[in-house]
Structure 1
Amino acid sequence: MGLVVLACLAGVGAWLTGLIGLIMITSGNATGWVLLVTGVLLLALTIVAIVAAVCLRVAPESQPGAANPHFDEPQPSQDPRGG
């Protein structure tokens, strides 16, 4: 849950700082570059937080264990008509 909140806050921060930085760059203010770089870093943090949240939420891969003894045995059809 915390990663989702972090992703949302970082996404909003990336959108605001990137947009304001872009506006400041177009108006000729050099401080806009700092805001734009900060927005890009926040966007990267958003992506990392989303990927981490998804990885934690998805079920883990199956672990190796004992073989299933019935795996290779053929199962007769339950259909009485045959095939």
Structure 2
Amino acid sequence: MHDDHPPPTDKGDQPTIITFDNSGDGPLRVPGFGTIPLTYELPSDARFAHGIQEWRQAPAVTARELAVDNRHEPSDRPPGLACRCLR
């Protein structure tokens, strides 16, 4: 087992990069375990995909979802509900 972990790299103004390790050859070193905070993310140029803080769905609702919602909406409400709400 490897007990010696490479130190985080620090390049002045660059954020500190923590080395992850989930190989099973030592303690688990991933966000949320040990001393690595759950919200830690690698810089965008050092990772494969976007981070959880950067994820978004655009558009928030697709045209297909909106069409299905509009089709089912009248059958989900009791009769006359729209009229009662507008009074």
Shorter chain as denominator, the TM-score bin is under 0.3
TM-score scaled by structure 2? Answer: 0.22
TM-score scaled by structure 1? Answer: 0.22
Structure with bigger RCO (C-alpha 8 Å, 6+ apart): 1
